[in-house]
Amino acid sequence: MLSFALPLLIAVFALYPHRAVPINLLISHATLGMSATSRLSFVHATSVTDYKVEIGGMLAGGMIAAWLGAGYLSRIPKSRTMGVIAVLLLGTAGLLAVETGISGTVWILLAQDSAWHAPAAVIAGLLVGTISSLLGVAGGEFIIPILIFVFGVEIERPARRVC
């Protein structure tokens, strides 16, 4: 939910959006690094080899779109950047609300044996990469719901450790 730190960087620290987006991305990556470090003991609980097509497609599409999105951000006039960020943040909030409302429901867009997995993964990666590069976030707000609701990945929370 670091994409909602962006308005704070702009409003509280009076940063121009073109400067706030890269700073928000650095904050996102630092947070992801700490999160990954603390969760390394749980990696064995999830098998990602079953989803290598989806992960590879999203990675490829995301990298291409992040490159293009960063270039696009630099071309957006400063007067319009705030509007683009506002629309993306409102859309993100709406998607998170919908995801919360339908969580627990079994809803999968593509069948497990569908030939559309690879193209859908690339398209999803392009979408996530574009939005992420414009907001300066890692994209987990979008990646996880796509994996669950489009590809049917079962993401389980690790059991809590009791001392």
Q: What is the pLDDT of residues 110-122, one digit of tens each?
A: 777 788 889 999 9
Is the pLDDT at 5 greater than 70? The verdict is yes
Angle between helical axes of 52-75 and 140-149 (0-180°, round to 10): 140
Q: How far is CA 8 from the centre of its chain?
A: 19
The domain spans of the chain are 2-149
The pTM (predicted TM-score) of the whole model is 0.72
d(CA 153, CA 124): 15
What does the pLDDT average to over 154-160? 61
Token pair of 138 as six digits: 């890692």
d(CA 114, CA 121): 12
pLDDT tens per residue across span 13-59: 888 888 888 888 778 777 777 766 666 655 555 566 788 888 889 88
Give the chain's radius of gyration (CA, Å): 17
Per-residue pLDDT band for 126 (boundaries 50, 70, 90) equals very high
Q: Looking at residue 86, what DSSP letter applies?
A: H
d(CA 37, CA 99): 27
Per-residue pLDDT band for 84 (boundaries 50, 70, 90) equals confident
